[in-house]
Amino acid sequence: MNVQDFQKKKHDAVPISMVTCYDSWSAALIAETEIDCVLVGDSLAMVMYGHDSTLPVSVQTMAAHTAAVRRGMPEKFIIGDLPFLSYRKGVEVAMSNVGKLMSAGANAVKLEGAAGNLELVHHIVESGVPVMGHLGLTPQSVHQLGGFKVQGRGEQAADKLKKQALELERAGCFALVLEAVPAEVAADVTQALGIPTIGIGAGPDVDGQVLVLQDLLGVNTSFRPKFVRTWMDGSTLIRDALQAYHRDVTSGQFPNGQESYR
């Protein structure tokens, strides 16, 4: 997968599959699948570090996780997420942070929102770095939005979302994440754009889907929003395996002769 393939898939109406990934061992598993691309999302602040928002994660942490994912998957297309405020302190700081994610192994970067970002998107793209946009529920603006809420409801909000999507396309984004927007709004934006939309909680009429890996594997029991489907009951499987390990250790059944050196 490369940037041109995103365009081609939209053109050919072939849905794009994207998943988040934060570490090397899950990257190595994803590398063995046909999943198109991977996002090292700043959601790792919540999923991996237990924060209640994405705000506390630094560029250094994002770069370290991007490098770990790249070591696990040498070939796949990786998008590195620019974290909170890392692209809002002037072009020089933003470009230095873009450089950190790209040096760590990303093929592209993602940033949230359109307002105040259009010139920067243009500059990053002109510098040779593909940019993925992100509209709708933009978690870095959780305080401004008043919580993790569906966005783009009502005619005015839907029109604003579409206008911003078109602006990001014009600025040079190669794809756009639409998060937590009504399916009809996402469909309308998708139709209006030449670049592919990747939905999360945005219904079926987009050009691709993204989910957080831990959500689709069912290991995150505390977070089950309406839009998440689980393809495995990961929390039960992992808990049962750990309990069985404990049982075998404490009952003296592990290790046995074959599991011991002579």
Give the residues lining the site for ligand KIV (CB under 6 A): 20, 39, 41-43, 81, 134, 177, 179, 200, 210, 212
In the complex, least distance from residue 163 CB atom to ligand KIV, rounded to whole angstroms: 21
In the complex, least distance from residue 14 CB atom to ligand KIV, rounded to whole angstroms: 20
Return the number of the residue (27 or 177) whose C-beta is nearest ligand KIV.
177
In the complex, least distance from residue 177 CB atom to ligand KIV, rounded to whole angstroms: 5
Residue nearest to ligand KIV (CB): 41
As a whole number of angstroms, the distance between CA 104 and CA 95 comes to 14
Return the number of the residue (37 or 102) whose C-beta is nearest ligand KIV.
37
As a whole number of angstroms, the distance between CA 213 and CA 22 comes to 9
As a whole number of angstroms, the distance between CA 130 and CA 4 comes to 11
Return the number of the residue (200 or 216) whose C-beta is nearest ligand KIV.
200
Burial class (CB in 10 A: 0-12, 13-18, 19+), 59: buried
- Cα distances (Å, whole numbers) of residue 86 to 65, 131, 226: 16, 15, 31
Degrees, nearest 5: CA angle 22-37-145: 65
120 in Cβ contact with 92 (< 8 Å): no
B/e letters for 168-206, b = 16+ CB within 10 Å, e = fewer, are bbebbbbbbbbbbbbeebbbbbbeebebbbbbbbbbebb
205 in Cβ contact with 186 (< 8 Å): yes
Return the number of the residue (177 or 195) whose C-beta is nearest ligand KIV.
177
Out of 92, 167, 169, 179, pick the active-site residue: 179
Return the number of the residue (223 or 254) whose C-beta is nearest ligand KIV.
223
In the complex, least distance from residue 108 CB atom to ligand KIV, rounded to whole angstroms: 13
In the complex, least distance from residue 176 CB atom to ligand KIV, rounded to whole angstroms: 11
Burial class (CB in 10 A: 0-12, 13-18, 19+), 92: exposed
User: Any catalytic annotation for residue 92?
Assistant: no
Q: Which residues are catalytic?
A: 179
